[in-house]
Amino acid sequence: MKYERLIARRFLQRDKSNFSRPLVNIATYTIALGVVVMIMAICILRGFQREITEKVIGFGAHINVRSYAWVNDYDDAVVAISDDELRQIATLPQVSHVQPTASKGGMLKTDDQIQGIVFKGVDTSFDTAFFAGNLVRGRFAHTSDSSASNEIIVSQRLAQKMHLDTGDKARTYFWAGNTYRARAFSIVGIYNTDLSEFDDHYIIGDIGQLRNLNGWDGNAASTYEVLITDFKRLDEALDAVKGATRPDLAVTSVVEEQPSMFAWLQLLNSNIALILIIMAIVCSASVVSALLIMIFEKTSMIGLLKTLGSTNRSIRRIFILKATTIVGKGLIVGNLLAALLCFVQVHFRLVRLDSESYSMSFVPIDANPMIFILVSIGTFAIATAALLVPATYISHIDPAKTTRQE
């Protein structure tokens, strides 16, 4: 193998006047560009899937436990779960947190506008990380176990539409039987997730307000939200939670509650597959073309090597070693450029999006190192396998003919 490597390094690299050198450079740049496109496509689409998934889960949870009488977020059906059942759910290895919530439909009114809303009530155990990370200004609403707080947070879209801001009073009205009940809340925070389906309606406050409006006892809730440790094991966690609850309780996952959203996100995987296939073909075609030109250009040398006793297999190794060097250089350049682009976008968010159309204001990036590794390995394997086809031409070269021509 040292003999083949020596010839590949010496005669194929030192001959700078040959016709194949520009094509070799083009092949290297093509592979680098292909790797950049593949890595960025996967990072962006996976980032998009991650961002949308986190936003949908942030407004709800991975798994929800409710009464079968519950219809939608405007409903006020109470769920009855014992403390033993809650402890059993919370101690499951797949579960990271359990929190009671309630929701109620109502109206938000200003002097000149009325907007339908969903008031989501939470208590002191609520995981505020999602809303804290999406606060535009202000802080998260204070909640209390002793008395109902009148603090709320509203979305930026709702605040702009209703001309409200932190420190303002929000007059709300909720139906209670055949009449309505008014509440005045104090806005302490403005959040923005760019997910218009939720931002247009949701305000977040103390669950104690809904307990008072609905006449519930001190610990009642309409939903117990279950957060899990690994979203990839959602089905396993769902089965575990169902096994820990009574059969008369409805246990559903976020995928079941938002089927169209997750079907759309799943559809993005087909786009990733299509991009990978196209770019793999382009990279393979480029390096195969470069190898064929090198073989045609070095036909006389191949004949000479055969005359001196080299086998077809040995000569094929020489040219494949050179071609894999081209692939390797392209992979290195492509990975470095892709890493730089990911770093710039993650930290500076230079590429912006229309939040109305994409539910986010910037291009998201999921720069997982495994993406770089797998794309590099896959590209190298496919390109190397493709090289075996043109390399078979070497066996058809007759040393007698090439020597006579020289």
Domain boundaries, the chain: 2-55+262-405, 69-247
User: Where do runs of H (alpha helix) occur along 245-311?
Assistant: 254-257, 259-297, 299-307
Q: How many CB atoms lie within 10 A of CB 312?
A: 16
Amino acid at 278: I
Nearest Cα residue to 31 out of 301, 383, 297: 383
* pLDDT string in tens for the chain (406-residue length): 577 777 777 655 555 556 667 878 888 999 999 999 999 999 999 999 999 999 999 998 999 999 998 877 676 789 988 889 999 999 999 999 999 999 999 999 998 899 999 999 999 999 999 999 999 999 999 998 888 999 999 999 999 999 999 999 999 999 877 788 999 999 999 999 999 889 999 999 999 999 999 889 878 999 999 999 999 999 999 999 999 999 999 999 999 999 998 998 888 888 889 999 999 999 999 888 888 888 888 788 888 888 777 888 888 888 888 888 889 999 999 999 999 999 999 999 999 999 888 889 999 999 999 999 999 999 999 998 888 888 787 777 777 666 554 5
Sign of CA dihedral 315, 320, 321, 322: positive
- Measured distance CA(311)–CA(296) in Å, rounded: 18
**Contacts (Cβ under 8 Å, ≥6 apart) of 46:** 272, 366, 368, 371
Q: How far apart are the first and last CA of the chain?
A: 28
Alpha helices in 298-398 (DSSP H): 299-307, 312-348, 355-358, 369-391
Length of the chain equals 406
**Three-class SS of residue 79?**
strand
Six token digits for residue 299 = 């036909």
Work out the number of other CB atoms within 10 angstroms of the CB of residue 82.
9
User: What are the distances in angstroms from CA 264 to CA 16, 48, 51, 81, 213?
Assistant: 52, 11, 14, 34, 37
Kind of pairing between the strands at 223-228 and 63-67: antiparallel
In whole angstroms, give the CA distance from residue 389 to residue 387: 5
Angle at 322 between CA 317 and CA 323, to 5 degrees: 95
Please report the beta strands in 50-200, taking only residues with DSSP state E, as ranges in sequence order: 63-67, 95-109, 114-122, 135-138, 151-155, 169-176, 179-191
Cβ(392)–Cβ(294) below 8 Å? no
- Token digits for 264? 């759309």
Using alpha carbons, select from 143, 130, 138 the residue that is nearest to residue 154: 138
pTM of the complete model:
0.86
Q: State the burial class of residue 152 (Cβ atoms within 10 Å of its Cβ: 0-12, 13-18, 19+).
A: buried
